[in-house]
A and B are shown apart, each in its own frame.
Chain A
Amino acid sequence: DIVMTQSPLSLSVAPGQPATISCKSSQSLLYSDGKTYLYWFLQKPGQSPQLLMYEVSSRFSGVPDRFSGSGSGTDFTLRISRVEAEDVGIYHCMQATRFPLTFGQGTRLDIK
């Protein structure tokens, strides 16, 4: 199985400041079709996860442009340019390049 490792596991950010979350995979997530199936989800307190980013850097419908994703191969990053109060929760990365799909441990973001 591909192991996904997120860091940090928690971070506290003041409103308006940037935040960066890293996700590393134990194998390259580049698929034979040329795409990289790396996803980011946000699970707000008491809610189910919601898709933020797909295929590394594509924002899902309705996701604000302060969220961006980057990376390739085994190293990926989610950036929030200016954190807002509604961004609190747990961020999960997930790979869908190889079965079984696997998740990182999650990164908890709270507001200072």
Chain B
Amino acid sequence: DVYLVESGGGLVQPGRSLTLSCRGSGFTFGDYVFSWFRQAPGKGLEWVGFIRNQALGGTSVYAPSVMGRFTFSRDDSNNIAYVEMSGLKIEDTGVYFCSLGGNGDYWGQGTLVSVSS
């Protein structure tokens, strides 16, 4: 079975940084694209972006709302994907989900990021 577990969420002040992790198991981690999505409290889903696997160049695509502030990375030897978030804004508050595949095949349970002063 596919398992994805996010961690690293928490309360952070505006302008500060936070890094989220997504650990995967039950599949060959390095073969897959990993996507990130988020959901503000009581709101709909928003695509954050994705990081390709090495076979596709390992490059990333970002949503305009996070471009230049968020950076995706991955450690295929340890089955972990990361999103480093800097310059956090209040509107970045929400539950962040990692997902297997470019289009949301499997999702983790999410980790809550709260940006507040």
Residues of chain A at the chain B interface (Cβ within 8 Å) = 37, 39, 41, 43, 47-51, 54, 60, 92, 94, 96, 99-106
| A24: min CB distance to chain B, Å | 15
Main secondary structure of the interface of A (DSSP, over half): loop
Listed residue (B44, B97, B110) with the most chain A CB atoms within 10 angstroms of its CB: B44
Q: Does B27 contact A (CB under 8 A)?
A: no
Residues of chain B at the chain A interface (Cβ within 8 Å) = 37, 44-47, 61, 63-64, 97, 102-110
| B9: min CB distance to chain A, Å | 14
Complex-state Cα separation, A37 to B104, whole angstroms: 12
Question: Given the interface contacts A99-B61, A100-B63, A100-B64, does A51 sit within 8 Å of B44 by beta carbon?
Answer: no
Complex-state Cα separation, A43 to B102, whole angstroms: 18
Please, which residue of chain A has its CB at the minimum distance from the CB of B49?
A100
The reply to whether B47 and A60 contact each other, CB–CB distance below 8 Å, is no
Q: Which of A49, A94, A101, A104 contacts B107 (CB 8 A)?
A: A49
Q: Which of B44, B97, B107 contacts A105 (CB 8 A)?
A: B44
Main secondary structure of the interface of B (DSSP, over half): loop
**Which chain B positions have C-beta within 8 A of A100?**
47, 63-64
Q: Which of A51, A54, A94, A103 contacts B106 (CB 8 A)?
A: A51
The reply to whether A51 and B45 contact each other, CB–CB distance below 8 Å, is no
How many residue pairs between the two chains, A and B, have CB atoms under 8 Å in the bound complex?
48
Question: Given the interface contacts A48-B97, A102-B47, A103-B46, does A96 sit within 8 Å of B103 by beta carbon?
Answer: yes
The reply to whether B44 and A106 contact each other, CB–CB distance below 8 Å, is yes
Listed residue (A54, A92, A100) with the most chain B CB atoms within 10 angstroms of its CB: A100
The reply to whether A49 and B103 contact each other, CB–CB distance below 8 Å, is no
**Which chain A positions have C-beta within 8 A of B108?**
48
Please, which residue of chain B has its CB at the minimum distance from the CB of A4?
B44
The reply to whether B47 and A101 contact each other, CB–CB distance below 8 Å, is yes
The reply to whether A103 and B61 contact each other, CB–CB distance below 8 Å, is no
Question: Given the interface contacts A103-B45, A104-B44, does A49 sit within 8 Å of B104 by beta carbon?
Answer: yes
